[in-house]
Structure 1
Amino acid sequence: MRKPSGVLMSGTYVSPRVPPGPAGTQSLRAMRDAPLEFVTAMAAHGDVTRHDADGEPVYMLNRPDLARYVLKENGTNYTKDRTPDDDMLRPLLGNGLLTSNGAEWAAQRRRCAPAFRPAEVNRFDQVIVAAAEQLAAQWRGSGPVRVDHDLTSLTLTVIVKAMLGTDIGGAGEGFGRAVDAVNRFIGHYVPSDDPDPADTAARYVGFQRARAFLDQVTRVIIAARRAGGPGDDLLSALLTDGHPHPGTGPAAAGPAGGPSGGPSGGPGAGPGAGPGGGPGGPADVELRDQVLTIVMAGHETTAKSLTWTLYLLDRHPEAAAAVRAEIDEVLDGRAPTAADLPALRRCRQAVQEAMRLYPPVWLISRRSVAADVIDGYDIPAGSLVCVSPWVLHRDPRYWDDPAVYRPERFDPEQAARHLSHQYLPFGGGPRICLGQHFALVEATLVLAVILRDLRMELVPGFPVEPEALVTLRPRHGLMMVPRPR
């Protein structure tokens, strides 16, 4: 590591306290091509590390209490603004709940929070179960199925019906392909010495098409809800709150012009960015951003968590047998309801452990507002500070045999011994995922329906490896064969 410059204090030369880390500027290409290996290697340097990348220092925190400090205890000093999280998500999602900051973020969260309260979520159990029953029937007796895409379609159907009061029909399959295209583009940081400009350009074209498709789906959802009149779902609340003008679609301005441009219909991007009709209400562009954020955040991570759960249960027959035995005992062949959730603890734990080994959000980034000191090391103002759930979830100091799939880790007695911010599948602090209860309820009920009737077996020889893009997904998808029980 290069020697840091010191400062004069009362006439005495004082060197800043710099964390350990690798020497020299790190290869952005290597970081992009193998990000999980990179964050794992960084953690070997210590609990707080520093490396130089893309012309700036990056600090990584590899201990639960340090994650808690940045995400919660001193969270006001650490913003998502100008972070990799922001850079990846803003081109697609605009200024929605995942990307906004400060008072604007707080207002958006207050507006959305009532819809995600447990009592509200549980009343959508039949929406979830009906979608799962339909998928199980589709899979029953079929050949190999693309599990990750089919689960994406299912979770998309559920979030749109439950939170937005709309049925998007057959758009689910296309949505899955669009999400893949978006991930391929925004999930890779492109260094200045891009090794393959043609590939980057092709991925950008795919991103533009995918974004246009997602904007179209979002417009259809908003228009359908407006046409259907008021309801008791989240979108109705957003429409009532803002009274946006009918017909002034959020994507009126069309796609932005380049990879670093703002989202279609983004701030200042044309007529769709004008103010809404209600006094103080959100503009139509905010409505677009919020709806697309709800749709993306509300389906993508749950679909990936279920995908990894089915894969891991196939690889661990004893755990799968325990889950199936529980389903047989609790359900006895019938469909589950929200009332069964407390008894379906093995199903829930199977998902929780999958989210430990394959956390949907594998890296959390923040930028310091003011200078700080973390674990004795100086963090200058404006520094990029990162926490990796992938690293924390596999640290042998906090998890016995961390590479082994053991759903019983989340038995109440064992889970009570987990340290705060040791387990971060939904992030931490005030910005913890608003939909975490929804995600676990949905994943538990879907898993119960599928495994009640089917055994899901990996296609022999099919390669499975994690790919860290925006979310942690199987690089080649997941092909499995449904077998009747």
Structure 2
Amino acid sequence: MSPVLLPPGPKGHFIAGNLVEFSEDPLGFLTRCAREYGDVVRLGKTNYLLNRPDLIEKVLVNGDGNFVKLAGLLKGKPRKGGFPEAMMNSEGDDWLRKRRLVQPAFHRKYVSACGETVVSLTERMLESWRPGEARDVHADVSALTLDIVSRFLFHTPIHDEARHVAAAVDAVMRHTDSPLRFPIWVPTPTNLRLRRALGQLNGLLATLVRRYREHPSERTDLLALLLSSPEPLSEGQLRDELATMIMSGHETTADALVWAWYLLARHPEAKQRLEGELDEVLGERAPTAEDLPRLRYTEAVVKEAMRLYSPAWITSREALRDCELGGFHVPAGTTLAVSQWVTHRDARYFDAPESFRPERWLSEDAQRMHRYVYFPFGGGPRLCIGAALAMLETVLITACVARRFRLELAPGCVVRARPALALQPLGVRLIPTPRSRVERGNEVRHAAGA
């Protein structure tokens, strides 16, 4: 019998292991571990970190059925968390049934049809911007993406009730920004805030469902699909599905947009090239979904921002049975983490990995890279169901903003990343300056001459 070979990793404290160091700086800790210990790192007795694309693919694609997201559900353990009945908090056949129920709402034709709404709502947001006034753009774009996703999911804008969703998102982020946290039933200030916010969100969603039932119509949105299911869903199931879709569907998109604008503000050459493409393709008009194939550099800006600051910065699976990965033994029950933050910044796969270079996505090298070198929306069967909608939103909104405004960082602006449930940009304040028609005309001529 060959000896059991365990992967290398930081020794950690004899009681707390590496938990304290991870909690103090998750992004830095994982990056150091990958650089010092290699492709398979033993973070603890039952926790590994995987940093090689083929291993990441094996775990996320899960062709042999050995790696699952929520192993406890398959073992009969009760669901935990704020939305236990939602698809993303399900496993096995239950997850597959819910995925098939939800999938038609995200069909390509419905996503493309959303483009007009995205642009009109973005233009409305931009009308409120005042030249030279420093803005909390995360608040602006969070309200925008919430409006977009609510219209997409159930054709109903959320205005007065938006504060309940915002409070729930903030409470969840505060609850998840550290691994050292108490169970939700413990009455800590953070948990009390979370429970109160989730209760208000549940009340809002119950009201929306009731209104929808009172005025039924022939629609193809998510709520219509859920209500017309051959297997009737309970009120709790309806609310959980809607809650996870609303919260994840608007917060991660808002985060991606703010990171993109932050990076453009720090890189004038990329900003100028983006403006040149928009002026050449669009001229004086607003973008549409039909313009997306021609907005290649705009898309590259978005992809590069999500490479450096992927809102989904880490995910994991659990091994159901003993197996081997990268030549190392993986015991059953081991949690296998894969980190977009770490892999997206690996010098083996990206030249100058810490640099913001949108043009890298326009080269032939980008077409040849391993699929799991870059995975901002996860991968495998549990690939983010809203990935296409998120890309359409992010590219169109970026185009709308850069067509009309040049954004600069406000003086004294201190920006940091908060790795909670999503990678949030904290402290980003930007000053919008309108772009003149003369500027836009000059850039069109410059682009044509190039």
TM-score, scaled relative to structure 2: 0.89
Q: Do the aligned partners of 1:150 and 1:173 also contact (CA within 8 Å) in 2? A: no
- Residue 108 of structure 1 aligns with which residue? 98
* Alpha-carbon shift at residue 191 of structure 1 (Å): 5.9
Deviation at 1:478, TM superposition (A): 1.7
1:39 aligns with 2:30: yes
Alignment partner of 1:21 is 2:12: no
| 1:190 CA displacement | 1.9
Structure 2 vs 1, CA of residues 28 and 408 (structure 1 numbering), >3 Å: closer, same or farther?
same
Contact 1:140/1:454 (<8 A) preserved: no
Structure 2 unaligned blocks of 5 or more? 436-450
The letter of the residue matching 1:105 is W
State the match for 1:385 in structure 2.
336
Alignment pair present for 1:217 and 2:204: yes
SS at structure 2 position matched to 1:329: helix
Deviation at 1:82, TM superposition (A): 5.4
Query: Quick one: which of 44, 52, 72 aligns to 1:63?
Result: 52
d(CA) in 2 for partners of 1:146 and 1:172? 17
Q: Offset at 1:399?
A: 0.3
Specify the alignment match of 1:204 in structure 2: 191
Match status 1:50 vs 2:42: yes
Q: Does 1 or 2 have the higher relative contact order (CA < 8 Å, sep 6+)? A: 2
Which residues of 2 match residues 41-440 of structure 1 at below 5 A? 41-43=32-34, 44-52=36-44, 56-74=45-63, 76-81=65-70, 90-141=80-131, 143-190=133-180, 201-230=188-217, 231-241=219-229, 280-411=231-362, 413-440=364-391
Query: Which one is further off, 226-235 or 427-436?
Result: 226-235
Local SS of the residue matching 1:92: coil
Q: Is the 8 A contact 1:28 1:191 kept in 2?
A: no
Say whether the 8 Å CA contact 1:371–1:380 is kept in structure 2. yes
The one-letter code of the counterpart of 2:57 is: R
Residue 46 of structure 2 aligns to a residue whose secondary structure is strand
Q: Distance in 2 between matches of 1:373 and 1:167?
A: 49
Letter matched to residue 234 of structure 1: L
Counterpart of 1:416 in 2: which secondary structure?
helix
How far did 1:414 drift? 3.2
The partner residue of 1:479 within 429, 436, 439 is 429
TM-score (norm 1): 0.83
Paired residue type of 2:147: T
Quick one: distance in 2 between partners of 1:383 and 1:356? 27
Consecutive unaligned residues in structure 1, runs of 5 or more: 1-8, 243-279
User: SS at the partner of 2:394?
Assistant: helix
Determine what percentage of the aligned residue pairs are the same residue.
37
**Structure-1 separation of matches of 2:80 and 2:384:** 17
Q: How far, CA to CA, are the matches of 2:284 and 2:160 in structure 1? A: 29
1:245 counterpart residue number: none
For 1:291, the aligned partner's letter is L
Larger helix share, 1 or 2: 2
The 3 A distance-change label for structure 1 pair 174 and 313 is farther
Residues 374-411 of structure 1: CA deviation (Å, up to 9, x unaligned): 01111011111111111100000000000000111211
* Residues 63-106 of structure 1: per-residue CA shift (max 9 Å, x gap): 111100111144621111158xxx9x952222312111111111
Encode CA deviations 1:246-272: one digit per residue, 9 max, x unaligned.
xxxxxxxxxxxxxxxxxxxxxxxxxxx
1:62/1:391 contact within 8 Å kept: yes
Question: Does structure 2 conserve the Cα–Cα contact (< 8 Å) formed by 1:178 and 1:211?
Answer: yes
CA separation of 1:483 and 1:177: change in aligned 2, threshold 3 A: farther
Give yes or no for contact 2:164–2:197 (8 Å, CA) kept in 1. Answer: no
- Judged with a 3 Å threshold, the aligned counterparts in structure 2 of structure 1 residues 345 and 224 are, in CA distance, closer, same or farther, namely farther
Change (3 A) 1:477 1:213: farther
Q: CA deviation at 1:351?
A: 0.8
Partner of 2:448: none
Q: Which amino acid aligns with 2:420?
A: L
